Amino acid sequence: MISIMKAAILAIGSELLGPVRLDTNSLRITEALERYGVELVAKSVIGDRREALVDELRRRLAEAEVVITTGGLGPTADDLTRVAVAEALDRRLWIDEELVERIRALFARFGREMPAVNRRQAEVIEGAEILDNRRGSAPGLRLEEGGSTLFLFPGVPRELEGMIEHHLEPWLAERAAAAGRVEGIERRVLKAACLAESALEERIAPAYGRFGREWIGVLASPGEIRIQTTAHGSADERRRRLDEMQEALRELAGDVVFADREEDTLESVVGELLKRAGRTLTTAESCTGGLVAERLTRVPGSSGYFLGGVVSYSNPMKVELLGVELAVLESRGAVSEEVARAMATGVRSRYRSDYGIAITGIAGPGGGSDEKPVGTVHLAIAGPGDGDVDHRRRWFPGDRERVRRHSAQLALDMLRRRLLVELGELAAPGPEG
């Protein structure tokens, strides 16, 4: 790909080298860079140590045409970005009295006197352009050095956002325009449910050959896989390319794909299908403890199709709320096909919804047996027809959280497929494969 230039991001601050905080600022910067065809080649985090900063700055300036630092512009002694940059570039550093007055005025606007220590934020470096910070007291700086451009931005996310918008993006746009044909990067996503990563990879392998392995990324989490497509070129070229890749991948991956937009989730897609089919839903959950209901109700407007649910975490509640027969619970056990089916039909008929979801299983760590090990789950979907119940038994690996997440995901996906069949957009499945 032809990028108009290479970039590096350097986050400064010892707190970012501890075991708690991550440099999230870089994501927002990367997004802006990519849009204007600038390729990020490295990002790093360095603590508040002058020598290390000087080294890192020199090195990144040698390998990238634009280097962006975040943090270390505050007024205290451990804010070393300005002095380190002056040293790395071998330039003079002084306090600009006019800038002191601007910072003083800023404090005055909030009815406060400028603390003496904030004078340090008026340090400027020989040849630097001062970049107005409309959301805080630390101005940014821009410097040119040996063909590279260095931006010094504050680390407070809200202030950084403003600096990107007011200073970085206009500069990038100008460079991109000057470069003529701009090759930006753009990404889209496909989301797939309930398939192993390796099985999905196998299905979409032909697309690697056709479009190039580096433009297709696969990212798996329990029960869900993201296929990310990337394209470069002009805005038109990118759109065309992404359309083409999405279509090919959708076809290869098949009906496991449930969404092609970042903002869609399995629960929002199921919600849309329920609305289109004019159907309502109730849930009966045991081992997932309300996770399916909680996910369904994350979606604004879900009260239009989701009537409610029952978390039947004890046998009496399965009997009283869902009408499961005590004899069945006792002979088959709470985690059984019979009970899952009875829960699904029970919740559906008692609370008069079109569909009923039921999940009963052993999430662990306790409660497993040889016959029904931890991770054993029975799922059932009762539909409008007479005796119309889909059932699955599954064993999910992993800990309590994974078993619960996998179970909720599969239940929603079973309902998604059921609704697609009802809407005539998917062929009815044969026996479970």
Chain positions 213 to 232 lying near its own copies, rule: CB under 8 A, are: 213-214, 217, 219, 228, 230
Of 84-92, 168-176, 237-245, 361-369: span binding its own copies (CB under 8 A) = 361-369
Query: In the beta sheet, which residues pair with residue 11?
Result: 45, 70
335 touching its own copies, by CB under 8 A: no
Name the residue nearer to its own copies (CB basis): 287 or 377: 287
| CA separation for the pair 106, 369 (Å, rounded) | 68
DSSP state of 427: P
| Least distance from its own copies to the Cβ atom of residue 183, Å | 16
Per-residue x/- track, 239-278, its own copies (CB under 8 A)? ----------------------------------------
Candidates 81-89, 324-332, 362-370, 379-387 — which segment interacts with its own copies by CB under 8 A? 362-370
Stretch that binds its own copies, among 72-80, 168-176, 338-346, 421-429 (CB under 8 A): 72-80
Decide: is 317 part of the binding site for its own copies (CB under 8 A): yes
Q: Is 147 in the site for its own copies (CB under 8 A)?
A: no
Backbone dihedral angles phi then psi of residue 400, each to the nearest 5 degrees: -50, -50
Of 30-38, 95-103, 338-346, 376-384, which part binds its own copies (CB under 8 A)?
Answer: 30-38
Cβ neighbors of 205 (< 8 A, separation 6 or more) are none
Q: Which residues contact 310 (CB under 8 A, 6 or more apart)?
A: 282, 283, 284, 285, 317, 321, 322, 347
Distance in Å, CB of 23 to its own copies, minimum:
8
- DSSP letters for 13-75: -GGGGSSS----HHHHHHHHHHHTTEEEEEEEEE-S-HHHHHHHHHHHHHH-SEEEEES--SS
- The DSSP symbol for 399 reads -
Query: Contacting its own copies (CB under 8 A), which of 69, 149, 268, 288?
Result: 288
The one among 75, 223, 233, 309 contacting its own copies by CB under 8 A: 309
Q: Is the dihedral angle over the CA atoms 34, 39, 42, 46 positive or is it negative? A: negative
